[in-house]
Amino acid sequence: MANVNFGTANAQKIVNLWNADQALADEGSYYVAAREYGSPIAITASVADDLNTASATHATFAPAMSIFNQENPNNPNAKSIYPRYLKLTTTTVQGGPATDWNYALRLDNGNKYASGGTALTPQNVNPMSSNSSVAKIYFGACVATAAPTSAARLVSLGNIATAVSVVMDTYLFHFGDVNTKMDQLKAAAAAKNISIHVPPVVLAPGWTLQLEMWGTSYTTAAQYVVEFAYAERISGL
């Protein structure tokens, strides 16, 4: 039976895209960049802190992930990138042991990626869409072009776990999803699923978002399987 409250001609439906990822996927604006379980990626070893210097032992210069928005910031129709979640599954634990595993998310103007890491290929989750991603994504032992600039913005910072990681530990970063419960087992010895709340982030055209990770006595490179999901749209629409 037809819905009498919705005409079949000259009518429109209004959907709040940001409360429905399915709608974003349907319009061809949702992407996933992932790495197979058989091909985990190692991050940089011996990263001890996040001081703002160009040193390989500082997470700001040796990020675990670099995401650059390749759009021209002078283009009024340029798309912004909106991270939805990042899932990291441990396949090789960080040696040392690092018992205070920490993270930071940092925005900076310009392309901060210089070298290293493994390129991740974004996939549009709608096979009927011809849209391609404007993101350039690297995960692993990345090297930044320089220390953070004066434009850099630290948008999230915190502790991931207080126990030595074990294989199959999974860290799930939720961007802007305050309704997800926080995991309370960060010190457990068995494999853990840890949810980490971070704020909503807008990766504007011409900007880079870095994930930085470090820990005390961290001497052996951790390896992860990675899955990163995000949306792309013109800002304000």
Residues linked to residue 223 through DSSP beta bridges, in sequence order: 42, 92
What is residue 179's predicted lDDT score, i.e. its pLDDT?
67
User: If you write DSSP's letter for every residue of 89-154 in order, what string do you get?
Assistant: EEEEPPBTT-SSEEEEEEEEES--EEEEEEEE--EES-TT------EEEEEEEEEESSS--TT-EE
The angle subtended at Cα 82 by Cα 79 and Cα 22, nearest 5°, is: 100
Q: What is the phi/psi pair of residue 22, to 5°?
A: -65, -35
Better pLDDT: 96 or 117: 117
Lowest model confidence (mean pLDDT) among 45-54, 122-131, 145-154, 200-209: 45-54
Does residue 15 surpass a pLDDT of 50?
yes
Q: Which amino acid is at 198?
A: V
Q: Is 96 left (phi over 0), alpha (psi -120 to 50) or beta?
A: left
What confidence tens digit (pLDDT) does each residue in 177-232 have? Answer: 766 665 555 555 678 888 999 999 999 999 999 999 998 877 788 899 999 999 99
Q: What totals of helices (H) and strands (E) does the chain contain, helices first? A: 1, 13
Is pLDDT of 85 > 80?
yes
Q: What is the pLDDT of residue 216?
A: 81
The sign of the CA dihedral 156, 157, 158, 161 is positive
pTM of the model: 0.89
Please tell me the predicted confidence (pLDDT) of residue 1.
46
